[in-house]
Amino acid sequence: MSFQVPLFLDLEPKTNSFFDDAIHGLTQTSKSLPSKYFYDLKGSVLFDQICELPEYYPTRTELGILQEHMSDITQTLGESVILVEYGSGSSFKTQLLLKSIPDVEAYVPIDISREHLLSASEQTRMNYPNLTVLPVCADYSQQISLNLSPTPGTRVGVFFPGSTIGNFSTDHAISFLKRIHHLVGLNGGLLVGVDLLKDSSVLEAAYNDSQGVTAAFNLNVLNHANEKIGAGFDLSGFKHVAFFNSEESRIEMHLEVLRDQQIQIRDTTIHFQKGETILTEYSHKYSLEHFSETAAAAGFKVEQVWTDDQNYFSVQYLRAV
């Protein structure tokens, strides 16, 4: 196995793209901010807390699926694999794979939050001193060139847990999956968490927790904008709102404007009217058939599907064909 990436690859996600994205999204009739800007250090920590909440079923359900079916999953991945994780965060779920796969050639965590990435990577190195860990700081929504050169018999496998694939529209999901297809090459694969359609009351409770952690996570995107691009948001003028949009088959998270106000971002003045919202995230919920069609459009075949007893969530292995 030869690697052409250093022990830490910093692709330097541009902070000025935050400015461009904010100006573009906040000057539209329907305002929005990209969900990738949730994940500064504080946002990453808050998301880890969300994953422990009783209402937030995806994490514990996905963990249960991984634990119950780990033997089948590791057999499907193959004994010799370069494991690449998109949006690695704390890499908690990955520990299950690293413990179970006998011959991981290398682990390549990719995350936009530099500090969180380095901290989690160091912990992984401590837990697995013989494992090659190659952290990459990058925006995985863009094309990433890793220049991995797997030896014969070794495949590249991407791990993308947590139902994050639902944050993309169908067209963007297909484009994203095509980039993964390019990275893994023929016969490489993707192990992906996919949240399934279910009763809207279960979905809405998961994004409106009683402790207010999801609300703090949502509002933190404004704090991140203040720190990175000098946006000047007053967080007390906004509140977290989340609901299921049945027509689009997705949960939507918004920040509702509580009073008429304006902010200045450099030379741009942005006006907000009471009652309007900023869309910060959506999370599509798939049927198995719809996701199979989406994967096929990107050159993947769904080879295995594992679900929980309630069919709340699925872990799927897609093979590049």
Chain segment 260-308, per-residue pLDDT in tens: 999 999 999 999 999 999 999 999 999 999 999 999 999 999 999 999 9
Same domain for 119 and 222?
no
CATH assignment of the domain containing 101: 3.40.50.150
pTM over 0.75: yes
On whether residue 9 sits in a domain, the answer given is no
Indicate the pairing of strand 136-137 with strand 103-111.
Answer: parallel
Sequence-separated (6 or more) residues with CB below 8 Å from residue 236: 258
Same domain for 93 and 123?
yes
Same domain for 164 and 271?
no
Same domain for 179 and 244?
no
Dihedrals phi, psi of 141, to nearest 5 degrees:
-75, -10
Per-residue tokens: 278? 């900023």
On whether residue 3 sits in a domain, the answer given is no
On whether residue 21 sits in a domain, the answer given is yes
Q: Say which amino acid occupies 52.
A: E
Same domain for 218 and 254?
yes
- pLDDT for res 14: 62
In total, how many domains does the chain have? 2
On whether residue 6 sits in a domain, the answer given is no
Same domain for 74 and 30?
no
CA dihedral 249, 251, 254, 258 (to 10 degrees): 100
On whether residue 117 sits in a domain, the answer given is yes
On whether residue 11 sits in a domain, the answer given is no
CA distance 256 to 258: 6
3 state DSSP class of 182: helix
Same domain for 146 and 177?
yes
Same domain for 256 and 307?
no
On whether residue 7 sits in a domain, the answer given is no
Same domain for 93 and 176?
yes
Asked if residues 26 and 231 have their Cβ atoms less than 8 Å apart, the reply is: no
Same domain for 81 and 162?
yes
Rg (CA), the chain: 20
Same domain for 297 and 151?
yes
Tell me the residue range of the domain where 35 lies. 16-53+199-284
Residue ranges of the chain with pLDDT lower than 50? 1-6
On whether residue 1 sits in a domain, the answer given is no
Same domain for 81 and 44?
no
Per-residue tokens: 131? 């494992």
